[in-house]
A and B are shown apart, each in its own frame.
Chain A
Amino acid sequence: MADILKCNHLKKQYGGFTALRGINLELPEGKVVGLLGPNGSGKTTLIKLASGILLPTAGEITINGMKPGVETKKLVAYLPERNYLDLSKKINKQIDFMADFYKDFNRDRAYEMLDRLSIDPKRPLKDLSKGNREKVQLILVMSRDAKLYLLDEPIGGVDPAARDYILDTIIDNHPADSTVLISTHLIADVEPVLDEFVFIREGEILQHSTVDEVKAEGKTVDGLFREVFRC
């Protein structure tokens, strides 16, 4: 199986602070991967590098064999921690915007998901609650048929019911041959949907395994996380 994301001695520094310390990582196609680590471990930096928002200080990162740029951005669907929507826009106008720029954007799927949440697409984004804005943003990302989904803390700061909705939306909507990278520190919640996981701490990869390997040892990823990251 081909690798959709590859990091080769990838390093990122912000001034004097080193966020990633020359990591090596390969993520195969068609997997749901958890990027797991405490706050400040380098998860967001890795995702920003893969999305092309940041450039590496040293080393290399490739998406489908290409350095991040215009071509990889066509393949990557990115959900940042922040709300990036222009709140003065109506939801349907935001859908038009996404459909204009991404050939893989599926309008019908977006409207269907909005309908399921009883959100009127003609409403301006500023009229929605914070929770619904986050859901709309997730819907916009998951309405794409991307090769790689980069989801940064998609379930952070939401109630358990919303977490279930978010995870179900991710799992139900991503194409089978795509890879989903979910960054989080809420291990127990994401564990049921993961195929693989990556433990990251202080800018270094500690472990990259399949969930089945952990299960074979009679452990859970959550239990292993607590073991590895014990203070």
Chain B
Amino acid sequence: MLGKLTKHEFLACGRIALPTYIAMLALSGIGRFLTWLTSRQYLIDNVPTTFVKIIKVLSSLISTVYVIAFIALVVLTLVYLVYRFYKNFFTDEGYLMMTLPVRPASLIFSKLFNGWIFIFFSAIVALGSLYITLGHYDQLVDLVERIFDAVKDVVDREGDFLRDELGVPLWVFVVEVVIFFFLLISRYIISWYTSVGFGMLLSKKHKVLGTIIAYIILDIASYILMGIFLAVATSILPNYYEVLAESGGKALQITVIGNSIINLILGALLFWFTSYIMKHKLNLD
């Protein structure tokens, strides 16, 4: 059932996301074309100045719209994911979704999976549109190649040193960092889902305000829990600060793993709380 929920959620989100992505890429393409057009000497020499000026104004306008759209793409992806969660479970649509023969945990997981998918797609589209906008493709490819070479060079020369510093092979550390970001993003998405559910309990009339207040409360609670966790962790590892002073690499490693564990625990707590609200406290109008 989780697969079916994810599929239907993907299709529903895709209906909005796909045209947005196409528009974003098209905007980049138009902007790039106008920039190219205004830089053609033939055009400058052979068409009236007013026309060139109009194209230049249009080009700057497109660039401005593009920057706004770029920021909006990132923000709106998250807003849309949170809105879908609210609309599906806490409005009249909840009468259908909450009577499907599936567990609340599956409902939340399906939203979370789609959160990952669309944040990933948005990032790809953002990079793609940047690629189109910036142009100079040869130089870009060259730059990426040079970055890769530089990294390879550092790994070849300093591999042993890095391994000693981190206490693990470099690839293990890279995997740890990827897991850390994955857990961080997951915890962030779930904290908004929890805020929607918790916000409904705080105020049925002012739902947006309730959600924002719930988010602030949960954020403060998360920081308190993090503080407690850090206190417990440093009491278990009394030489943590010594390690920190002696080896930056090991300290970094401990910090990445520690933060991953914190995000995992907080994410699990928030997930359980959201599931509890949906199962026990849901009261649709």
Q: Which residues of A contact B (CB under 8 A)?
A: 14, 48, 51-55, 70-71, 73-74, 76, 78, 80, 82-86, 88-89, 93, 97, 100-102
Q: How many residues of B contact A (CB 8 A)?
A: 24
- Is B12 positioned at the interface, with any CB of A under 8 Å from its CB? yes
| CB–CB B93/A101 < 8 A | no
| CB–CB A73/B99 < 8 A | yes
User: DSSP majority for the B interface?
Assistant: loop
| CB–CB A101/B282 < 8 A | no
Q: How far is the CA of A82 from the CA of B95 in the complex (A)?
A: 8
CB-nearest residue of chain A to B15 = A88
The contact of A53 among B1, B7, B95, B102, by CB within 8 Å, is B95
| CB–CB A100/B99 < 8 A | no
- Is B175 positioned at the interface, with any CB of A under 8 Å from its CB? no
Chain A residues contacting B8 (CB-CB under 8 Å) are 97, 100
| CB–CB A71/B282 < 8 A | no
Q: How far is the CA of A52 from the CA of B15 in the complex (A)?
A: 30
| CB–CB A70/B4 < 8 A | no
Q: How far is the CA of A74 from the CA of B94 in the complex (A)?
A: 17
Q: Mark B76-100, 1 if CB is under 8 A from A, else 0.
A: 0000000000000000111110111
The contact of B99 among A52, A55, A85, A97, by CB within 8 Å, is A52
Q: How far is the CA of A70 from the CA of B102 in the complex (A)?
A: 6
Chain A residues contacting B157 (CB-CB under 8 Å) are none
Q: Give the residues from 147 to 205 in chain B that come closer than 8 angstroms, CB to CB, to chain A.
A: none
Chain B residues contacting A76 (CB-CB under 8 Å) are 99
Chain A residues contacting B94 (CB-CB under 8 Å) are 53, 84
Chain B residues contacting A55 (CB-CB under 8 Å) are 279-280
| CB–CB B99/A78 < 8 A | yes
Chain B residues contacting A86 (CB-CB under 8 Å) are 12, 93
| CB–CB A54/B93 < 8 A | no
| CB–CB A101/B284 < 8 A | no
Per CB-CB distance, the 7 closest pairs between chain A and chain B, nearest first, are A84-B95, A73-B101, A84-B96, A82-B92, A80-B95, A74-B101, A100-B4
**A78-B95, A86-B12 as given contacts; A101 in contact with B279, CB under 8 Å:** no
CB-nearest residue of chain B to A89 = B12
| CB–CB B283/A101 < 8 A | no
Nearest-neighbour CB distance to chain B for A36, whole angstroms, equals 22
Chain B residues contacting A51 (CB-CB under 8 Å) are 99
Chain B residues contacting A14 (CB-CB under 8 Å) are 283
Chain B residues contacting A71 (CB-CB under 8 Å) are 101
Q: How far is the CA of A100 from the CA of B100 in the complex (A)?
A: 10
- 8 A-B pairs besides A53-B94, A76-B99 with CB distance below 8 A are A53-B284, A71-B101, A73-B99, A82-B92, A84-B92, A84-B93, A100-B7, A101-B4
Q: How far is the CA of A84 from the CA of B95 in the complex (A)?
A: 6
**A86-B12, A101-B4 as given contacts; A53 in contact with B99, CB under 8 Å:** yes
Chain B residues contacting A84 (CB-CB under 8 Å) are 92-96
Chain A residues contacting B279 (CB-CB under 8 Å) are 55
- Is B207 positioned at the interface, with any CB of A under 8 Å from its CB? no
Q: How far is the CA of A44 from the CA of B92 in the complex (A)?
A: 14
- Is B56 positioned at the interface, with any CB of A under 8 Å from its CB? no
Q: How far is the CA of A93 from the CA of B282 in the complex (A)?
A: 27
The contact of A70 among B7, B15, B103, B282, by CB within 8 Å, is B103
Chain A residues contacting B93 (CB-CB under 8 Å) are 84-86
The contact of A101 among B11, B95, B101, by CB within 8 Å, is B101
Chain A residues contacting B101 (CB-CB under 8 Å) are 70-71, 73-74, 101-102
Nearest-neighbour CB distance to chain A for B141, whole angstroms, equals 41
Q: How far is the CA of A100 from the CA of B11 in the complex (A)?
A: 14
| CB–CB B96/A85 < 8 A | yes
CB-nearest residue of chain A to B102 = A70
Chain B residues contacting A80 (CB-CB under 8 Å) are 92, 95
Nearest-neighbour CB distance to chain B for A84, whole angstroms, equals 4
Chain B residues contacting A82 (CB-CB under 8 Å) are 92, 95, 284-285
Q: Give the residues from 82 to 128 in chain B that come closer than 8 angstroms, CB to CB, to chain A.
A: 92-96, 98-103
Nearest-neighbour CB distance to chain B for A192, whole angstroms, equals 28
